[in-house]
Amino acid sequence: MKIAVVGATGLVGGVMLKVLEERGFAEHDIIVAASPKSVGKQIDFAGRKLTVTSVEDAIAQHPQYAIFSAGASTSREYAPQFAAVGCTVVDNSSCWRMYNEVPLVVPEINMTTVTPDNRIIANPNCSTIQMVLALSRLHWKYRIKRIVVSTYQSITGTGIKAVRQLEAEEAYAAEHHVPSSQLRQCMEQAMGDQYQPAYPNQIYRNLFPHGGDFLPSGYTTEEQKLVDETRKILGDPTIKVNATVVRVPVVGGHSEAVNVEFHNEYDLDEAIQLIANTPGVVVCDDTSQNLYPTPVMAHHRDEVFVGRIRRDDTQPCTLNLWVVSDNLRKGAATNAIQILEALTVSDL
């Protein structure tokens, strides 16, 4: 079997290759493709060297499956070309997610929406994946009416440039003993054009409520994804979602404070059991031992961790959750490879 990984030299692409190896795909013919500047580079995979090829060359090799993590513009251009040669594409970008004819899939929830006619399958946004997986069984039992979510998102969600910004700011602050409040200004003055941050704000010892681009509504594109994708994955356009996305100086994963209101009253013990019985979810909730999910706990793990499960006493039928997951694994690479696994098992 031939499997192409498009965007193989990127942060998520590297994790995709790692997960492919971990989950038994090392014996297959793995084609690694990237932008022209990366063509010819060598990538270590399962004890061998893979040579990066162009996307056009990858298409010419007629792979059965292609996993994309190269950005929306690349997916828009090349995913249909892969599909045209009989390849099934699992795309990690935002490009195809809201097309009615393209399934938006979290395998534990809605793999049944995929048919043999679907040549492009969309991987949801990282923050959406962990939230809907934690809430899916609760929705099926009690039916969700409204979600209020605040996310605390790792810089890795922005890519390697953001990681380098944080590392550069940490190193500069340590070397020059610059107060945090003056760090960005000092770096801009001292480094000039060499200082090219990924964010409009300093991330070292800071956070800011800005993920994606701002929309005319005042919300951001990252916040709107939580609204639109949640409704599509759970199959209920009536669910109300109010989201605030915050970027924090964390590498390990995304965290979310979720307040969910149901149409029907719930039993707290039953709700906890429903969450615990959800495949891929781990309940970590013992406040007597100060046990609750953290990004450090989730780092390099595939599970979605849920804790601080408690009733909202201010209104009926409402529950509070704290949800944490590694955004590069379950939030991106692992979810895509799980889709691939389901496709290969069912031979769709």
Give the pLDDT confidence of 233-291 residue by residue, as tens digits: 999 999 999 999 999 999 989 999 999 999 999 999 999 999 999 999 999 999 999 99
Give 116-127 pLDDT, tens digit per residue. Answer: 999 999 999 999
Supply the pLDDT for residue 309. 98
If one compares 194 and 111, the residue with the highest pLDDT of the two is 111
Give 214-238 pLDDT, tens digit per residue. Answer: 999 999 999 999 999 999 999 999 9
- On the CB side of 200, CA atoms within 13 Å amount to 7
**Rg (Cα) of the chain, in Å, rounded?**
21
**Does 312 score more than 70 pLDDT?**
yes
Predicted confidence band at 104 (pLDDT cuts at 50, 70, 90)?
Answer: very high
Supply the pLDDT for residue 195. 87
In order of start, what are the domains of the chain with their CATH numbers? 2-124+332-346 (3.40.50.720), 128-157+208-327 (3.30.360.10), 161-194 (no CATH)
Q: With b meaning 16 or more CB within 10 Å and e meaning fewer, what string describes 53-64?
A: bebeebbeeebb
Supply the pLDDT for residue 348. 54
**Does 347 score more than 70 pLDDT?**
no
Residue numbers annotated as active site: 126, 254
Give 39-55 pLDDT, tens digit per residue. Answer: 999 999 999 999 999 99
Q: With b meaning 16 or more CB within 10 Å and e meaning fewer, what string describes 269-306?
A: eebbebbeebebbbbbbeeeeeebbbbebbbebbbbbb
**Does 308 score more than 80 pLDDT?**
yes
**Does 344 score more than 80 pLDDT?**
yes
Average pLDDT on 312-336 reads: 98
d(CA 293, CA 276): 14
Supply the pLDDT for residue 70. 94
